[in-house]
Amino acid sequence: MQDFKAQRNAMSSRLEVKLKNQLPEIHRLAEAVDGFFEAQGLPIKLAYNFNLAFDEIITNIVSYGYDDEGERFIDVSLSLVDGLVEAEVIDDAKPHDPLQAKTPDITAAAEDRPIGGLGVFFIKTLMDKVEYRHENGRNHLYFCKRTSA
Amino acid sequence: MDVIEERQGKTIIVAGKGRLDSNTSKDFETRLMGLAAAPETSMVIDLGNVDYISSAGLRVLLMALKKVKAGKGKLALCAVQSHVREVFDISGLSTVFSIHPERQAAIQSVA
């Protein structure tokens, strides 16, 4: 089974990775994402931002999304078209809109600082746009960022 | 993530190397919490070779800070890379932690 595709041409590029619902898969994805950004000549900081967004959302899916221990797959895509990097994460875990999570109180003192919800807050802050939809029994999380931001 | 532990006087210096994410933070948590449990701990966490931190990693650092403070100790961070620093800034944790560019300054701050 081919689970890793990268297509490149002069105008646009696309990366697709199919992940198992296991945390170590995030590292495998990160290497593919780093390679994608490097091949496009884009800054490492942008790769970091996308890796962070993928990491936070996939950690949530793997940790809380399934009722059983069975093997599932999460489809991740990344594309660059005309200076816009677009990403999508599609999973068949329980319907869950991460954008409904409460914004954490980032001014609280260390002693009573909650860390839950921070991951989604990162995605919202670092990306230009984030959208969620549930379609055909699957969660779709889309996010994008301009390369020139 | 690899972790190197050193001592300078009574200060414990914990230097991480690699990624501090949901996958690696559990081991790091066990290591840090063991060190932070002693009363009046003086600890510096060197993030110079940590090139990636997620919210799971921040959570571990925050837990260590709480534990050290509870024991009347001091904890400082040093050498945070700029793209990692951004995550501290966004989360508001830059003001919660004592963060120093240089390791020696961090050591002095917790001595």
CA distance B97 to A50: 25
pLDDT of A45 strictly over 80: yes
Query: Strands B98-100 and A138-146, how do they pair?
Result: unpaired
CA triplet A67, A68, A74: central angle to 5 degrees?
85
A85 three-class SS: strand
| φ/ψ of residue A19, rounded to 5 | -110, 145
What value does the mean pLDDT take over residues A21-42? 95
Question: A82 to chain B, minimum CA–CA distance in Å?
Answer: 24
pLDDT of A11 strictly over 60: no
Residue type, B52: Y
B2 three-class SS: strand
- Cβ separation A52–B19 shorter than 8 A: no
What value does the mean pLDDT take over residues A18-29? 95
What value does the mean pLDDT take over residues A37-66? 95
pLDDT band at residue A108, thresholds of 50, 70 and 90?
confident
pLDDT of B45 strictly over 90: yes
Quote the percentage of chain A above a pLDDT of 90.
75
Q: Where are the domains of chain B?
A: 2-110
A residues 87-106 near B, CB within 8 Å? 104, 106
DSSP H or E stretch at residue A72? none
- Please give the pLDDT value at position A12: 65
Question: B56 to chain A, minimum CA–CA distance in Å?
Answer: 8
- Please give the pLDDT value at position A105: 77
- Cβ separation A56–B69 shorter than 8 A: no
**Which chain B residue shows the shortest CA-CA distance from A112?**
B66
- Please give the pLDDT value at position A2: 44
Distance of CA B90 to the CA centre of its chain: 17
pLDDT of A114 strictly over 70: no
The fold of the B2-110 domain, in CATH, is Transcription Regulator spoIIAA (3.30.750)
- Cβ separation A113–B62 shorter than 8 A: yes
pLDDT of A148 strictly over 90: no
Q: At what angle do helices B55-70 and A118-126 cross, to 10 degrees?
A: 130
**Which chain B residue shows the shortest CA-CA distance from A31?**
B19
Mutate to test the interface with B, among A55, A56, A62 (most CBs of B within 10 A): A55
| φ/ψ of residue A28, rounded to 5 | -60, -40
- Please give the pLDDT value at position A103: 75
Q: In the CATH hierarchy, which top-level class contains the domain A4-146? A: alpha beta
* A84 has a chain B CB within 8 A of its CB: no
Q: Where are the domains of chain A?
A: 4-146
* B72 has a chain A CB within 8 A of its CB: no
